Chain A
Amino acid sequence: MGISLDRILGLHENAVKLRSQRTEILAANIANADTPGYKARDFDFKQALASAQSSSQGAIRLQVTQPGHIATAGGSPGFEMMYSTPMQPSIDGNTVDLHKEKAKFTQNAMEQQVSLTFLDKKLKGLVKVIRGE
């Protein structure tokens, strides 16, 4: 019986990828906390992970890199960027709620740590099996 690396790593592979993308977006929001007119952005992690999972398990998809390309059924795997609604809009048009963004950033980082810990344990288990200790 062969060992499929994809199946062992499970959804954590996609999860870590999406988590790091979300970390980047939240970092951009926090960096732009004082930029006039900046709109805070985020994406729905659950929906993005589901879409990434279905695309990695389903049929092979064609990549769409040019306007003339035709996407395969279901579209390209990805997520929709959304603008967050500010609780207290500021007069300069900035919609970053710094405390909310900080909280989201911390939570996102913790959840990425969780995924990384799972991956770490899985890889350690594999190493143990290979070494036969």
Chain B
Amino acid sequence: MSLFNIFDIAGSGMSAQMVRLNTTASNISNADTVSSSVDQTYRARHPVFATAMNEQMGRQAAGVEVKGIVESNAPLRQQYSPDHPMADERGYVYFPNVNVVEEMANMMSASRSYETNVQIINTSKQLMMKTLRLGST
């Protein structure tokens, strides 16, 4: 029954967008966590989406899967503040390479996509209920 597939497809889309929202939340909340070395500094994380060509979902339609989460390679922000308790021996602290504006845009895009998938599930549910009630008075 193909209408059940829609729940899988939209559900995979919802879970993928949820992963994206999670990484965005993690990035934004860690935007100001400083550290005293380059290796220990938090780096912005982003999920990589891929089409899930699943045999069970049929050959025509496919859901989304999260292939993995990659850390951004953008350069870290260095700040000279010798009074900072986390400063290294040269007096530098390191800030994460999180771009907060970018993350906010990402967050809005993810939540809109999530909403769209919820609407699809609702519409499909209505259609199924109508099909179930065919001919009943």
A interface residue numbers (CB < 8 A to B): 16, 20-21, 23-25, 27-28, 30-38, 41, 81, 98, 102, 105-106, 109, 112-113, 116-117, 119-120, 123-124, 126-127
Contacts and interface: CB of A to CB of B under 8 A. Distances in A.
Contacts of B50: 35-36
27 contacts: A20-B2, A23-B2, A24-B3, A24-B6, A27-B124, A28-B9, A28-B61, A30-B120, A31-B12, A32-B13, A32-B64, A34-B17, A34-B49, A34-B113, A35-B64, A36-B48, A38-B51, A105-B120, A105-B123, A109-B127, A119-B135, A120-B133, A120-B134, A124-B135, A124-B137, A127-B135, A127-B137
B98 interface: no
A116 B130 contact: yes
Interface string B47-60: 01111000000101
Contacts of A32: 13, 49, 51, 62-64
A120 B132 CA distance: 10
B99 interface: no
A81 B17 CA distance: 27
Contact of B134 (A31, A106, A116): A116
A17 to B, nearest CB: 8
Chain B binding surface, main DSSP class: helix
A126 B135 CA distance: 9
Contacts, number: 104
A6 to B, nearest CB: 16
Contacts of B12: 31
A129 to B, nearest CB: 12
B125 to A, nearest CB: 11
Given A24-B3, A28-B63, A123 B135 contact: yes
B64 to A, nearest CB: 5
Contacts of B48: 36
Nearest to B62: A28
B51 A24 contact: no
Given A120-B135, A127-B137, A30 B13 contact: yes
Tell which of A16, A20, A21, A117 has the most Cβ of chain B within 10 Å: A20
B36 interface: no
Contacts of B134: 116, 119-120, 123
Contacts of B126: 109, 113
Contacts of A106: 123
